[in-house]
A = this chain, B = another copy of it.
Amino acid sequence: MPIAGRYICGMFRPRVTLRDVARRARVHTSTASRVLNPATRELITEPIARRVTTAAEQLGYQPNPNAYSLKTNRTRTVGVIIPDIANPVFPPILRGIEDAFAESGYTAVLANTDNDGDREGTIFQEMLARRVDGLILATARRRDPLVDRCLLEKIPVVLINRTVDRGDVSFVVNDDTFGIGLAVAHLAAMGHVRIAHLSGPLTLSTGFSRHRGFVRAMKKGGLRAEPKRIGVCGGFTESEGRRAFLELRERDRTFTAVVAANDMIALGCYDAAREIGLRIPGDFSVTGFNDMPFLDKLQPSLTTVRIPHYQMGAQAARTLLARLNGGLAAVEHVTLLPELVARDSTAAPSRRTRRGR
């Protein structure tokens, strides 16, 4: 068994423990413990407390988190489960989580599932085995067994980005309905009437509510959301966007704009348009969703809906912290407002396209 300690200036120094601090301060370890723990600090009188804190400082004492966790059953660790960190929406979310946790001494442990149910289960088990105090899930489907399990087993959990249909769980999401409304209103204001929608998977709250948002916004604008002008993608991917666009165009060639459920799907539209020789925004306009990095560098730059990803992560972390510290905090639903970022992929319909082709 290795001996705890570190090399300082080339010399091996055994690790400083609470005992060492107590010994130096000439008090019992329990007293030292109470001084160093903010919650019990007030139990000890000032002069003794000072002796302990100075001793701790002089020795460079750092508490052993394993001993703490073993005794208290709290690891000050939370699991963050996301589909894929390579998806550019997640890094800012993660930074938000990290920053919000930093002050409170919690650490986030990350895992990617690639949207694979089995892998999700495995990771969930491993997180529990690691004794995380809570979970932040960005992988929820509208009906999600993992979320059900968290609730059943009373594991503190906060959903992020996506949510579930059952309402008895905390989440922090973007207002997808409102966001899509922004895109539709933007297009309608430019004179578009025959607007199509390429939705994401309807089993995900994001896909579902953006789809619903599209239908509502069209109705509200006095426009018709024709079923033939709605395509459903099997995933939020470029290839699915391309496929769904081509399929859509088989059914209808009169639309003048496409509201894509996210930026990747919009990129799929770019690909398809290039293939079949259509110009954006000359032949049709496109809007995305998320405002990924580098969209402004595309040709044409993509009009999209910006989501406050960083705040989303930070808020989710705060919500979880409240639950972890406060014990049985109430279920909290937070919805953040997105904003439209108008760029060059949207323009007024040309006279030619306005007539239909």
Question: Which residue numbers of A lie inside 8 Å of B, CB to CB?
Answer: 1-4, 6-10, 62-67, 69-75, 84-86, 88, 91-92, 94-95, 98, 107-112, 128-131, 152-155, 267, 270, 293-294, 297-299
Contact = CB atoms under 8 A, between A and B. Distances in A.
A133 B146 CA distance: 31
A94 B4 CA distance: 29
Given A62-B128, A65-B130, 13 more contacts: A3-B73, A4-B73, A6-B128, A66-B70, A66-B75, A86-B88, A91-B91, A94-B110, A98-B112, A107-B109, A110-B110, A297-B298, A299-B299
A70 B299 CA distance: 57
Contact of A70 (B9, B67, B297): B67
Nearest to A67: B70
B72 A2 contact: yes
A74 B111 CA distance: 21
Contact of A294 (B67, B109, B294): B294
B267 A297 contact: yes
A75 B110 CA distance: 16
Nearest to A80: B110
14 contacts: A1-B73, A6-B128, A7-B153, A8-B153, A62-B128, A65-B129, A66-B131, A67-B70, A88-B293, A94-B110, A107-B109, A270-B297, A294-B297, A298-B298
Given A2-B74, A72-B1, A130 B154 contact: no
A71 B1 contact: yes
Given A7-B154, A66-B66, A92 B98 contact: no
Contacts of A75: 66
A62 B1 contact: no
Contacts of A86: 88, 91-92, 95, 293
Contact of A6 (B1, B70, B153): B153
Contacts of A129: 62-63, 65
A74 B154 CA distance: 29
Nearest to A1: B72
A66 B130 CA distance: 8
A95 B109 contact: no
Contact of A9 (B7, B69, B74, B152): B152
Contacts of A270: 297
A84 B7 CA distance: 30
Contact of A88 (B66, B88, B109): B88
A69 B71 contact: no
A103 to B, nearest CB: 12
A75 B294 CA distance: 39
A85 B88 contact: no
B66 A69 contact: yes
Contacts of A112: 95, 98
A63 B294 CA distance: 46
Contacts of A10: 152
Nearest to A302: B297
Contacts of A298: 297-299
A270 B130 CA distance: 47
